[in-house]
Amino acid sequence: MSDTVADPSFHPPEDAVAFYDEALGLLKESGIPFLLSGTYAVTAYTGIQRPTKDLDVFCKPGDYPRILSFFQARGYRTDVEDERWIAKVWKDERYFFDVIFAMSNGTIAVSDSWFGKDTIEVYGHRVGITPPTALILSKVFIQDRYRFDGADVNHVILKQAEAIDWKFLLDQMDLYWEVLMAHLLNFRFAYPTERDLVPTWLMTELSERLRAQVDLPAPRVKVCRGRLFSPRDYIADIKEWGFGDVVGKGLEERHESTQ
């Protein structure tokens, strides 16, 4: 794939565009490594366009305080919404951009490996975007009653299979290989004629893991890993049914992931 990808044409209000233009200019001025992700990356890699009202700025965990400090020194309000994964930069209490440095469930953090060559021009600024592999990683756990990003995963695989680092994807999802396998099975179901886009060795590896697991005894510790998908949809499991929590979020938390 070339190092330049298509420019999605979104049309937010003029004052919002002015803020995004200013924010991207300052981010570049800061010299702190960052990437755009979310809708911009999906559009760039798949051609699917949909409206968006914010910017998802991704950075490494060690860099998010630097970004907040840089903007705070220039009069912006900053907010560390959840120190495990997300902060915000505000202007005039109307517009903001997210600063995301890990997945909301704490399973995966942004790392140097996320910074590739692909760029996009947004509001007059050429900036990097998350490469296809990292984009998939950012979406595989977004599965709840109100939002499921499986279609995005499928479309990225369909359009960018050759650009995906499948070995790295498996390495990152090693502890959660069943989640990866479920997405790949969904892809095979959605696109039966395109099954070969997923490497045979990967499906064989995941199938062998499943085959080996089937005859194993059930785990002794009773946990609900569904909370990695949606803390709010699995509250009853923790409060009423005796399952251990693997997320550590408040039981009444109603925050919706913005990734």
For 71-84, what is each residue's pLDDT tens digit? 999 999 999 999 99
CATH code for position 120: 3.30.460.40
| 197 part of a folded domain | no
Q: Which carries the bigger pLDDT value, residue 246 or residue 64?
A: 64
In a domain, 161, yes or no: no
Judge contact between 42 and 142, C-beta under 8 A: no
Across the chain, how many H-helices and E-strands are there? 9, 9
The whole-number average pLDDT for the span 40-46 is 94
At 41 the three-state DSSP class reads helix
Q: Roughly what angle, to the nearest 10 degrees, separates helices 150-160 and 39-46? A: 40
Q: Give domain status of residue 210, yes or no.
A: no
Residues in CB range of 98: below 8 A, 6 or more apart = 54, 55, 56, 57, 86, 87, 88, 258
Residue 41 confidence (pLDDT) above 90? yes
Q: Which of 130, 162, 192 is the last residue of a domain?
A: 130
pTM listed for this prediction:
0.89
Sign of CA dihedral 68, 73, 74, 77: positive
Do residues 123 and 25 both lie within one domain?
A: yes
Task: Specify whether 19 is located in the same domain as 125.
Answer: yes
In this predicted structure, the answer to whether residue 210 has a pLDDT above a threshold of 50 is yes
- What's the domain count of the chain? 2
**Are residue 225 and residue 125 in the same domain, yes or no?**
no
Q: Which of 111, 130, 149 is the last residue of a domain?
A: 130
Q: For the chain, report the end-to-end CA distance as a whole number of angstroms.
A: 24
Which residues are CB-contacts of 168 (< 8 A; sequence separation ≥ 6)? Answer: 113, 133
To 5 degrees, how large is the angle CA 150–CA 153–CA 159?
Answer: 140
Within 10 A of 196 (CB to CB), how many other CB atoms are there?
9
Size (the chain), residues: 259
Share of the chain above pLDDT 70, in %: 90
Domain boundary among 74, 99, 130: 130
Question: Across all residues in the chain, what is the average pLDDT?
Answer: 90
Beta carbons within 8 Å of 134's beta carbon, 6+ residues apart: 37, 110, 113, 114, 116
Cα separation, 119 vs 126, in Å, equals 6
Domain that holds residue 97: 14-130
